[in-house]
Amino acid sequence: MKITLHQTGKRFNYDWIFRRVSATFSEGGRYAILGPNGSGKSTLLQVISGHLHHNEGTVTYSTMPEELLPPDQFFRHCAIAAPYLELVEEFTLAESIQFHLQFKRFIPEISPQEAIALVGLEKSMDKQIRYFSSGMKQRLKLALSIFSDVPVLLLDEPCTNLDTAGIKLYQQLITNYGGNRLIIVSSNDEQEYFMCPNRISIQDYK
Ligand SMILES: Nc1ncnc2c1ncn2[C@@H]1O[C@H](COP(=O)(O)OP(=O)(O)OP(=O)(O)O)[C@@H](O)[C@H]1O
């Protein structure tokens, strides 16, 4: 999967958040979107994911070999972990996994039980998400995204609410299970984008 932005811009009301972003996110590449608080990193990631519509320029998705994917189909090919995407508080952990698997299966080598054990939540299978700590919720979000069998991972501040052990866990999961997928991280913390040789500064597009 390749994502191409050409002269892409996004505004809220009269405020341009970014303009004239031209970038190619290649299959298997690792990219970080960097910038200070409020600069537009999340907004750019949401434009890439299709959650927000851009106001100028284009965003195109292409599969290999070069074949354009309709933008409304991209959600099937990506998994997202982001602070603004909420878990269903009424579900237990087991129900959350089952619900997720109705839409996206896990990578073949990982069973749901293994996924939960890998993020250290095996003792909370029957606990409702509303009783999870913020760090436990983040571990679950990471499991649901990183173990999804999709070619693109979009991670917005992936270490939010994680302690030192959680950050190490995130880095291990990316290293062990990132595979050859396209990964785009929105972040201002090096620990979150340690694996990304390609860096885009949102400040360059003001
Ligand atoms: N729905 C919205 N309506 C109006 N303005 C918005 C909306 N969403 C975001 N903004 C504004 O867009 C700008 C960029 O926000 P964004 O969340 O993309 O920044 P960020 O770089 O991800 O910040 P942080 O590092 O704090 O997460 C901010 O000024 C924010 O107030």
In a mutational test of the pocket of ligand 1, which residue from 19, 43, 154 has the highest number of ligand atoms less than 8 Å from its CB?
43
Residue 142: which domain range? 2-205
User: Mean pLDDT score of the chain, rounded to an integer?
Assistant: 96
Q: What are the tens digits of pLDDT across the range 80-119?
A: 999 999 999 999 999 999 999 999 999 999 999 999 999 9
pTM, full prediction:
0.96
Cα–Cα distances in Å, from 105 out to 34, 68, 78, 143, 155?
30, 23, 12, 12, 18
Residue nearest to atom 7 of ligand 1 (CA): 12
What atom in ligand 1 is closest to the CA of residue 39? 21
Give yes or no for residue 33 CB within 6 A of ligand 1: no
SS3 sequence of 184-205: EEEECCCCCCCCCCEEEEHHHH
Number of domains forming the structure of the chain = 1
Give yes or no for residue 46 CB within 6 A of ligand 1: no
Give yes or no for residue 41 CB within 6 A of ligand 1: yes
CATH number of the CATH domain containing 174: 3.40.50.300
pLDDT at 141: 98
- Expressed in angstroms and rounded, the spacing between residue 15 Cα and the centre of ligand 1 is 11
CA 42 – CA 52 distance, rounded (Å): 10
| 4 HSE (CA, 13 A, CB side) | 10
